[in-house]
Amino acid sequence: MSSELHAQTGVWKASPLPAPPGASYSLIDFADSANGIVFSTDGHYVLTSDGGTTWSQIRTLPDSLSIVQMRLYDANTCVALGQDGRVSLGNVFLLRTSDRGTSWKLLNLPAHIRIPGCVSIATRAIMACQADSGGILGSTDLGSTWDTLAQSEGRSRGEIGVMKNGRIFVWSPVGGMLNDGCLLTSADSGRNWVPVVSQTDMSYSSGKIYNENLASFALGYGDEFILEVCALYNGSRDSVVFPSSGRRNGYWVDWGAFYDDGTILLLRWGDALIKSSGAPSDSTYLVQSGGLGPHVSSLATISPQYAWILSDSNIVFRRVDLVTAAAPANAPPGEFRLFQNFPNPFNPATTIRYAIPRRAHVTLSVYTTLGQLVTTLVDRVEEAGAHSVKFDGTSLSSGVYFYRLQAGNYTNTMKMTVLR
């Protein structure tokens, strides 16, 4: 396993998808730990309600559009962004379902929205950038009506992404010349813009919004694209990290996630999913480099414990048992571990997971930001293994809280957020 992927990549299990009649699947998204959807560019899709273990039969969108972006908001609601393949520029549409794909509604976008990347469906508050003026439009009803919000600093062809906390990103959809790339951000609905990283000699930029809290950007520098920087954004922390830069061994790092607990997942373009044993029945895979096997096509992730990789051979790899890695299923975890609660932010309840490698007295408590005890969830001796406890925050006001695990000599504290 390469150093960039190290222990955080865990173990991934393969789930073959029913082969679509046209192009391979290329888009994947999950609304939560159970409900997911995978699309091919020509409108074929399959659904799962068990975290990707099993998938539905192939379904097909009613209109012959090239699907370039989609978002699954909950088990029933999905929006897909399509473009008429017969037209090189223009004719961009939204398709929306609220009954788990049983029926779809075709919606026209406002005038002068001609580039699919200029539409962000990362959250239910959809945004779009007009190609003629750079004006940013917003819709709070999943594309039925639109209002003008702001200007995008003259980046009239910029691709746009918006996060749950309202932060907007704009990057260039094409590149190839020095100073042609950009990565700008605004924290005030587009009134003021600042560069995320130096744009001097930037040749191009691309972006991927995984969900309303996580995004990844690839920034190329130099006239031959000899240097690339990977920037990962976390909406809960409202911060960007740069975990790697430069071209390494013929691969670029341009997929990744920076989670709330500070852990980072990196995938390199062209990296492979290699079987961990030669047994024909073995379906356990590790994320490795080497250019062998099915290649990474797309990543969906909502937390360190829940991530899915779509390969270009119509296989979904889902992360399993981050604690035990490649150990047997009945083996105890190798170390004490406290995980990020899920969902986070939450309202009203969330689940906290932890693991202990041996029998120990465990205390799990919740505190305010001032250190005041809210409640003690666990205070007992527990056996080795993975454990979870549900926390009901109905009585709490909106804000940040901390939960602390003490087990033997191990102590760790993590942050969670209540949203009303």
In a domain, 326, yes or no: no
Shared domain check, 182 and 38: yes
Among 320, 355, 371, identify where a domain stops. 320
In a domain, 1, yes or no: no
Among 82-86, 154-158, 184-188, 392-396, the minimum mean pLDDT is found in: 154-158
Shared domain check, 176 and 241: yes
> Which residue, among 187, 188, 135, has the nearest Cα to 157 in the 3D structure?
135
Query: What's the rounded Cα separation, in Å, for the pair 226 and 222?
Result: 6
Arithmetic mean of pLDDT, 244-273: 66
Shared domain check, 312 and 270: yes
Where b means 16+ CB within 10 Å and e means fewer, 312-346 reads ebbbbbbbbbbbbbeeeeeebbeebbbbbbbbbbb
Q: Does the pLDDT of residue 285 top 80, yes or no?
A: no
State the pLDDT confidence band at 35, using cuts at 50, 70 and 90. very high
Query: What's the rounded Cα separation, in Å, for the pair 258 and 414?
Result: 15
In three-state form (DSSP H/G/I as H, E/B as E, the rest C), the secondary structure along the chain is CCCCCCHHHCEEEEEECCCCCCCCEEEEEECCCCCEEEEECCCEEEEECCCCCCCCCCEECCCCCEEEEEEECCCCCEEEEEECCCCCCCCEEEEEECCCCCCCEEEECCCCCCCHHHEECCCCCEEEECCCCCEEEEECCCCCCCEEEEECCCCCCCEEEECCCCCEEEECCCCCCCCCCCEEEECCCCCCCEECCCCCCEEEEEEEECCCCEEEEEEEECCCCCEEEEEEEECCCCEEEEEEECCECCECEEEEEECCCCCEEEEECCCEEEECCCCCCCCEEEEECCCCCCEEEEEEEEECCEEEEEECCCEEEEEECCCCCCCCCCCCCCCCEECCCECCCECCEEEEEEEECCCEEEEEEEECCCCCEEEEEEEEEECCEEEEEEEECCCCCCEEEEEEEEECCEEEEEEEEECC
Query: What's the rounded Cα separation, in Å, for the pair 348 and 208?
Result: 29
Shared domain check, 106 and 76: yes
Shared domain check, 172 and 245: yes
For 264, what's the count of Cα atoms within 13 Å in the CB-facing half-sphere? 21
Arithmetic mean of pLDDT, 354-380: 93
**Which residue has 């046209």 as its token pair?**
22
In a domain, 331, yes or no: no
**Which residue has 């007295």 as its token pair?**
361
Q: What pTM value is reported for the model?
A: 0.71
164-181 pLDDT per residue, tens: 888 888 887 655 566 677
State the pLDDT confidence band at 390, using cuts at 50, 70 and 90. very high
Contact 182, 160 (CB under 8 A): no
Q: Does the pLDDT of residue 33 top 80, yes or no?
A: yes
Arithmetic mean of pLDDT, 49-67: 88
In a domain, 332, yes or no: no
State the pLDDT confidence band at 417, using cuts at 50, 70 and 90. confident
Shared domain check, 117 and 89: yes
Shared domain check, 234 and 120: yes
CB-CB neighbours of 239 under 10 Å: 10
In a domain, 379, yes or no: yes
State the pLDDT confidence band at 5, using cuts at 50, 70 and 90. very low
What pLDDT, on the 0 to 100 scale, is given for residue 114? 72
What pLDDT, on the 0 to 100 scale, is given for residue 271? 60
Among 220-224, 316-320, 337-341, the minimum mean pLDDT is found in: 220-224
In a domain, 327, yes or no: no
Beta partners for 413?
404
Among 265, 292, 320, identify where a domain stops. 320
The CATH number of the domain holding residue 402 is: 2.60.40.1930
> Which residue range(s) make up the domain with 397?
337-418
In a domain, 92, yes or no: yes
Shared domain check, 346 and 280: no
**Which residue has 């520029």 as its token pair?**
89
Cis peptide leading into residue 343 (ω within 30°): yes
Instruction: State the chain's mean pLDDT as an integer.
Output: 79
Q: In percent, how much of the chain has pLDDT > 90?
A: 25
300-331 pLDDT per residue, tens: 998 877 889 888 788 888 887 553 333 344 44
Q: Does the pLDDT of residue 355 top 80, yes or no?
A: yes
Q: Name 100's Cβ contacts closer than 8 Å, sequence gap at least 6.
A: 47, 75, 76, 78
Shared domain check, 255 and 179: yes
Shared domain check, 341 and 390: yes
Q: In percent, how much of the chain has pLDDT > 70?
A: 77
State the pLDDT confidence band at 85, using cuts at 50, 70 and 90. low
CB-CB neighbours of 166 under 10 Å: 15
Among 68-77, 282-291, 311-320, the minimum mean pLDDT is found in: 282-291
Shared domain check, 244 and 383: no
Among 56-60, 70-74, 142-146, 276-280, the minimum mean pLDDT is found in: 276-280
State the pLDDT confidence band at 246, using cuts at 50, 70 and 90. low
In a domain, 329, yes or no: no
Q: Name 283's Cβ contacts closer than 8 Å, sequence gap at least 6.
A: 13, 14
Shared domain check, 170 and 25: yes
Give just the sign of the alpha carbon dihedral 81, 89, 143, 96: negative
Arithmetic mean of pLDDT, 198-225: 81
The CATH number of the domain holding residue 66 is: 2.130.10.10
Query: What's the rounded Cα separation, in Å, for the pair 232 and 225?
Result: 19
Structural domains counted in the chain:
2
- Per-residue tokens: 149: 């919000």
Query: What's the rounded Cα separation, in Å, for the pair 22 and 15?
Result: 20
Query: What's the rounded Cα separation, in Å, for the pair 252 and 249?
Result: 9
Query: What's the rounded Cα separation, in Å, for the pair 408 and 233?
Result: 35
